[in-house]
Structure 1
Amino acid sequence: MRDSQTLLSSPLSLAAAALGLTFATPAAWANDAAERLTERLEPLESYQATFEQKILDGSGERLQSATGEMWLSRPGMLRWEVEAPYSQVVVSDGSDIYLYDPDLEQVTVQPMDDRVTHTPALLLSGNIGDLTSSYDVVYNHENGEDVFTLIPSSADTLFEELNMVFDNDTLTQLWMMDSTGQRTLITFSDITQNGSINRSLFNFDIPEGTDVIREEF
């Protein structure tokens, strides 16, 4: 039997983990990195892609893998659908976040606040100025790709490090690491940036007979 808490927490944080590297970076370099990241993200009004997600423990052993599709639109709207091995849906309409598990017939509803919006996908849908002011940003060019490492300036986040990988101006990967050393790699494909997305995707109608758990912070 699957652990229901794991099922609910993993999609909200996009499983949440990655490479455990930190950098001592001069302030001028950090400012330049933030400017470079802003140049990549500011033009991004919408994003649609399929994804493959791998969760690894601290020793690199695979704990879980999943595939699915995601849609993102600014400001604050997200739909994240895990298709396999188990169906799960996360929807943000800009005010509330719905975490739906059809197998459990359960949906958890959380209001949008700073703790929730510091999950990786919702960071992309938010204000870029808030993003670069809340994280120390380091830039590296590796294997022909631009890699931005974000380290939270406060402890009130679901990850200790987030890495965004760009091929030219296209986001292709997210790497994350949480406080337990658990890492997650999310690889995107079939990517469409700034395309037309039906706004109804960001509305969630609670299915009849579903148990509803409302969480207030």
Structure 2
Amino acid sequence: MTMTTQRSTFKAVALRTVLGVASAAAVIAPMAYSTVAQAAPASTQVATKNLNKLLSNTKSMSANFSQTTKAGGKTTKFSGSMAVARPNQFRWESKSPAEQLIVANGNTLWIYDKDLAQATKQSVSNQVGDTPALLLSGDPKQIERNFNISQPDAGKNYYVLTPKSSNAAFKNLSISFNGGKPVMMVLNDNIGQTTSIRFSGIEMNKKISASKFSFTPPAGTDVIEQ
């Protein structure tokens, strides 16, 4: 895969993640399927309460990530760092194989490609239903309004969120917690791509500088407004 293709793939996946075209499906591992299938699920009310408690305890989060996207028999991998903070602030930075940065502050989304010296500026909805990647920095009550929430195994902190809107561009989103920390998301979009994201080096509820969620294009950058 060429570097140009890798950049395009990262941008496409990141946009789907941030803008809600991507979603997480209940796809973790073959063994997990059998475990979930035999487990007793929590009721919708209990699942919603449990997830809301976990999300309410997440005021901010920073971590490293490894991302694997599979589509049409091809696999693409990215790695980098991320940060989220309430209300609706988000940073996603790919360091390998290409350097790209995505910053959202709840109103504006920037996508910056350092090598191409190009930045794209877009307007972003504050609705969590439209921005599932901002799940951890959003309002749990708003999430409840936009998603149906299930907990396939009442004994495990693994949740599947399905959008209530029939116009949503994604199917569902799953997220796993360990020790109160989000450790994995699996995303499955409507064009046949499956994206697995694993978090490491997680730091919870520490102050994150506001500068992390702002972006000013460097001099000479080609800015595209959409």
Q: TM-score range by the shorter chain?
A: 0.7 to 0.9
Alignment of 1:12 onto 2:10: no
2:107 partner letter: S
Equivalent in the alignment of 2:51: 37
Q: Distance in 2 between matches of 1:66 and 1:202?
A: 21
Correspondence list, 1:150-161, <5 A: 150-161=161-172
2:66 to 27, 30, 52: 52
Correspondence list, 1:1-217, <5 A: 2-3=4-5, 6-14=9-17, 16-19=22-25, 29-57=43-71, 61-113=73-125, 118-141=130-153, 145-215=156-226
Instruction: Please report the RMSD computed on the Cα atoms of aligned residues, expressed in angstroms.
Output: 2.5
Q: Distance in 1 between matches of 2:46 and 2:128?
A: 27
What whole-Å deviation, never above 9, does each CA across 1:62-85 have from its counterpart, x for those lacking one? 421010000111001111100101
In the alignment, structure 1 segments of 5+ residues that lack a partner are none
Q: How much does 1:206 deviate?
A: 0.6
Q: Distance in 1 between matches of 2:11 and 2:45?
A: 36
Range that drifts further, 184-193 or 108-117: 108-117
Q: Distance in 2 between matches of 1:167 and 1:117?
A: 24
Q: Is the 1:146–1:168 contact (alpha carbons within 8 Å) kept by the matching residues of 2? A: no
Q: Is the 2:60–2:86 contact (alpha carbons within 8 Å) kept by the matching residues of 1? A: yes
SS of the equivalent of 1:80 reads strand
Q: Distance in 1 between matches of 2:71 and 2:143?
A: 27
Q: Distance in 2 between matches of 1:156 and 1:109?
A: 24
2:94 partner letter: V
Q: How much does 1:196 deviate?
A: 1.6
Q: Distance in 2 between matches of 1:62 and 1:92?
A: 29
2:177 partner letter: F
Q: How much does 1:115 deviate?
A: 7.1
Q: Is the 2:26–2:186 contact (alpha carbons within 8 Å) kept by the matching residues of 1? A: no
Q: Distance in 2 between matches of 1:206 and 1:187?
A: 29
Q: How much does 1:141 deviate?
A: 3.4
2:158 partner letter: V
Q: How much does 1:160 deviate?
A: 1.1
Q: Distance in 2 between matches of 1:7 and 1:166?
A: 25
- Provide TM-score, normalisation by structure 1: 0.85
Q: Is the 2:107–2:126 contact (alpha carbons within 8 Å) kept by the matching residues of 1? A: no
What whole-Å deviation, never above 9, does each CA across 1:130-171 have from its counterpart, x for those lacking one? 1111111110338x7411001111144442111000013111
Which structure has more helix as a fraction of its residues?
2
Instruction: Tell me how many residue pairs correspond in the alignment.
Output: 207
Q: Which runs of 4+ in 1 moved over 6 A?
A: none
Q: How much does 1:86 deviate?
A: 0.7
Q: Distance in 2 between matches of 1:93 and 1:50?
A: 20
Percent sequence identity over aligned pairs: 32
- Provide TM-score, normalisation by structure 2: 0.82
